[in-house]
A and B are shown apart, each in its own frame.
Chain A
């Protein structure tokens, strides 16, 4: 009996010393930008190596979080590397292979292979898991801090959890400058025709209509996801239709949409946008030189930081002539955290994620970076939260997060490359662009047979 009591006491002691998700202080008492102190954990030591992608508000938040983590764990040093988002996966691969990384920032587990897809490559995250490079964190207590849907949809594979997702982002909207709209007597557009008219008014007043971080490439076409969404609200259905041939780029609907892409590229995006880096676009917008910025909700925190008094709004990109079609927000599960299975300092890495996942710390992250929260009690108490609240109930996962092309497809096979048209691309004629896109897609579909 005595041995049983000792054994139970040992088990209880071991469980009580593990990573915990309960905050040490109430969330309301934690000043913005600071993080809550952790519940006592066994003394940690060594270095925690963290890899994240470039997003200025996120980097600033992580710098502060790391300092607090080091203060809370004097034996631990945090080394953080920041890379451009385009380079994140390549860097992740090399550091995981070299076994010199502990915690990695990883985008959501999307683009899984659908049953109707053939001759496709597995997405990178799946390869990392199959190679045993990501730690199975299914049984970690902090995972329960996140809503079940985000855990299942964005961080799980074959029934196990490998990442916690930190938030959704909308990417089908337009930021607009409230003061410029008021000064030029322009109503917030709810339809495509109203948007065209608004751009004409701003251009006549020598004001850029829409800006985007064109230098990085993807901000131009991400900015047009709202256009795509207004024509194809069921974007998984769109992917399947392109695969099985029931939807073709040469259909009348697509030709109409490509015509609007041409207008977006050539007449709406301001001249010179191709030279603006993705991170610099919020600054360009917040300077008041342009009326709107096409892009995702992740820019909101940067805009507020750059110009706290700047008045802006965020609306779904009005791609349709019917206002009712423009009421959806498309987006995705965005960044998350994973731990390297070969982490040289697994205990510290787990403690790092556990502290980050603490509801108080997570709320501070949401306040600083502005994602749509994936912890049930977190709130987006920002201008962005108020702007997108009407659209959250109809939030839809976007095309980008379902699409996988078969091997052999050409580069125009996916409508993500909206910068087909001049001045960014070479096309002037929507029919020619449609024919090229369909030919590029068909070459891969034929090869997959």
Chain B
């Protein structure tokens, strides 16, 4: 048999070439993840030199079953799922719509493509600052417009439901550009001849989209769905920047961070270090993301096989 790098010792070359990458992955990704799982079974504080004791599933029992705090953790899980579904559906739809528009070759396409992608490169802090200023309840732009109609809102500081919806809006605004770009790339791989042949056969716009665009976009659809679902399940940074740790708004990712680094009270006092407990919360979130991610991947692959053969 012929090997790409030759025979003899040279057969080891591919393995040597991927070793640095593998080591980096073990060191910065897999290793810490495994350590997190191990820590989740301990009372680790995250501080050096304090003894660490193996406590089995106590952290998990506390997170999932102990008192009102456990109910709030489950509420955070429900909120996370609501956030994930809402953001995925809306971001996906808007991203696809904008990509289809931009693929028409209209004037200004490049400008609008840059404009829609711009929020993606800003980073969470700038995104949060922009929207905090836009939603400033005293004299801010949107507050001023509402005032013209005699209305007033606290926006991000108001009712938890309203604050939560605003975070969803910002999440969608911040990430829609990626969805759009992936769809745009997918649209541009569909040959024009397919559309021409369909038009010759009398297909209308709706039929072109349903029978040609949508099936042939399947790889892009799958990529976008997976990225958006997993990204929104793990999202918490915008909550941190926009509304801090407020009752009735927490998502599971923020609960994990706040629990591990002692920021649950919203006060300067009351900080405790419980990274073992935070690790357990992180593992719970990981298992949920894994279950949803694997299920999504399986269903999408089946669909892809059915549509594209």
Residue ranges of A at the interface with B (Cβ–Cβ < 8 Å): 53, 85-90, 93, 96-97, 107, 110-111, 121-124, 127-128, 130-133, 214-218, 221-222, 270-276, 284, 400-401, 403-404, 407-414, 416-417, 422-426, 439-440, 443-444, 446-447
Residue of B nearest to A445 (CB): B67
Provide 19 A-B residue pairs closer than 8 Å at the C-beta atoms, listed in order of the A residue: A86-B266, A90-B263, A90-B271, A93-B261, A110-B269, A128-B47, A214-B157, A216-B244, A217-B244, A270-B138, A272-B138, A272-B152, A274-B158, A275-B155, A400-B267, A408-B67, A409-B69, A411-B69, A426-B160
Residues in chain B near residue A413, CB distance under 8 A = 68
Residues in chain A near residue B135, CB distance under 8 A = 275
Instruction: Verify A407–B62 contact, CB threshold 8 A.
Output: yes
Instruction: Verify B267–A407 contact, CB threshold 8 A.
Output: no
> Which residues B151-174 have CB closer than 8 A to chain A?
152, 154-160
Number of A-B pairs, beta carbon distance below 8 Å: 164
Q: Measured between alpha carbons, how far is A275 from B248 in the docked complex, in Å?
A: 18
Residues in chain B near residue A53, CB distance under 8 A = 268
Given A85-B268, A124-B271, also A410-B71 (CB < 8 A): yes
Tell me, yes or no, whether B270 is within 8 Å of chain A by CB: yes
Instruction: Verify A86–B263 contact, CB threshold 8 A.
Output: yes
Instruction: Verify B268–A274 contact, CB threshold 8 A.
Output: no
Instruction: Verify B136–A411 contact, CB threshold 8 A.
Output: no
Instruction: Verify B69–A408 contact, CB threshold 8 A.
Output: yes
Per-position 1/0 for B135-157, Cβ under 8 A of A: 11110100100000000101111
Residues in chain A near residue B137, CB distance under 8 A = 271-275
Q: Measured between alpha carbons, how far is A344 from B241 in the docked complex, in Å?
A: 33
Instruction: Verify B50–A131 contact, CB threshold 8 A.
Output: yes
Tell me, yes or no, whether B273 is within 8 Å of chain A by CB: yes
Least distance between A168 CB and chain B CB atoms (Å) = 15
Residues in chain B near residue A416, CB distance under 8 A = 265, 267
Instruction: Verify A130–B262 contact, CB threshold 8 A.
Output: no
Residue ranges of B at the interface with A (Cβ–Cβ < 8 Å): 45-50, 62, 66-72, 132, 135-138, 140, 143, 152, 154-160, 244-248, 261-274
Instruction: Verify B154–A89 contact, CB threshold 8 A.
Output: no
Residues in chain A near residue B158, CB distance under 8 A = 274, 423-424
Residues in chain A near residue B160, CB distance under 8 A = 425-426
Instruction: Verify A274–B267 contact, CB threshold 8 A.
Output: no
Instruction: Verify B244–A97 contact, CB threshold 8 A.
Output: no
Instruction: Verify B48–A444 contact, CB threshold 8 A.
Output: no
Q: Which of A124, A132, A273 contacts B262 (CB 8 A)?
A: A124
Residues in chain A near residue B47, CB distance under 8 A = 93, 96-97, 127-128, 130-131, 133
Q: Which of A85, A133, A407, A414 contacts B48 (CB 8 A)?
A: A133
Q: Measured between alpha carbons, how far is A440 from B67 in the docked complex, in Å?
A: 8
Given A275-B135, A410-B71, A439-B68, also A217-B45 (CB < 8 A): no
Residues in chain A near residue B67, CB distance under 8 A = 407-410, 443-444, 446-447
Residues in chain A near residue B159, CB distance under 8 A = 422-423, 426
Residues in chain B near residue A274, CB distance under 8 A = 137, 154-158
Q: Measured between alpha carbons, how far is A411 from B143 in the docked complex, in Å?
A: 30
Q: Which of A88, A273, A410 contacts B68 (CB 8 A)?
A: A410
Known interface pairs A123-B271, A272-B138, A416-B267; 12 further A-B residue pairs with C-beta atoms within 8 A, sorted by A's residue number: A93-B47, A93-B261, A96-B47, A124-B273, A133-B49, A270-B138, A272-B152, A274-B158, A409-B68, A416-B265, A417-B247, A444-B68
Q: Measured between alpha carbons, how far is A132 from B135 in the docked complex, in Å?
A: 45
Residues in chain B near residue A110, CB distance under 8 A = 269
Least distance between A314 CB and chain B CB atoms (Å) = 21
Residues in chain A near residue B71, CB distance under 8 A = 410
Least distance between B303 CB and chain A CB atoms (Å) = 41
Q: Measured between alpha carbons, how far is A85 from B50 in the docked complex, in Å?
A: 25
Q: Measured between alpha carbons, how far is A403 from B135 in the docked complex, in Å?
A: 34
Residues in chain A near residue B140, CB distance under 8 A = 275
Instruction: Verify A90–B262 contact, CB threshold 8 A.
Output: yes
Residues in chain A near residue B262, CB distance under 8 A = 89-90, 124
Q: Which of B156, B246, B268, B273 contacts A88 (CB 8 A)?
A: B268
Residues in chain B near residue A221, CB distance under 8 A = 267
Residues in chain B near residue A214, CB distance under 8 A = 157
Q: Measured between alpha carbons, how far is A416 from B135 in the docked complex, in Å?
A: 26
Q: Measured between alpha carbons, how far is A271 from B264 in the docked complex, in Å?
A: 26
Q: Measured between alpha carbons, how far is A237 from B171 in the docked complex, in Å?
A: 46
Least distance between B62 CB and chain A CB atoms (Å) = 6
Instruction: Verify B69–A131 contact, CB threshold 8 A.
Output: no
Instruction: Verify B266–A410 contact, CB threshold 8 A.
Output: no
Residues in chain A near residue B154, CB distance under 8 A = 271-272, 274-275, 423-424
Residue of B nearest to A342 (CB): B48
Least distance between A426 CB and chain B CB atoms (Å) = 6
Residues in chain B near residue A128, CB distance under 8 A = 47
Residues in chain A near residue B152, CB distance under 8 A = 271-272
- Of B138, B140, B244, B263, most buried by chain A (CB within 10 Å of CB) is B138
Residues in chain B near residue A408, CB distance under 8 A = 62, 66-70
Residues in chain A near residue B68, CB distance under 8 A = 408-411, 413, 439-440, 443-444
Instruction: Verify A447–B66 contact, CB threshold 8 A.
Output: yes
Q: Measured between alpha carbons, how far is A408 from B63 in the docked complex, in Å?
A: 9
Q: Measured between alpha carbons, how far is A124 from B275 in the docked complex, in Å?
A: 12
Q: Measured between alpha carbons, how far is A412 from B70 in the docked complex, in Å?
A: 13
Q: Which of B46, B157, B270 contacts A275 (CB 8 A)?
A: B157
Residues in chain A near residue B272, CB distance under 8 A = 121-124, 127
Given A93-B261, A124-B262, also A272-B271 (CB < 8 A): no
Instruction: Verify B70–A426 contact, CB threshold 8 A.
Output: no
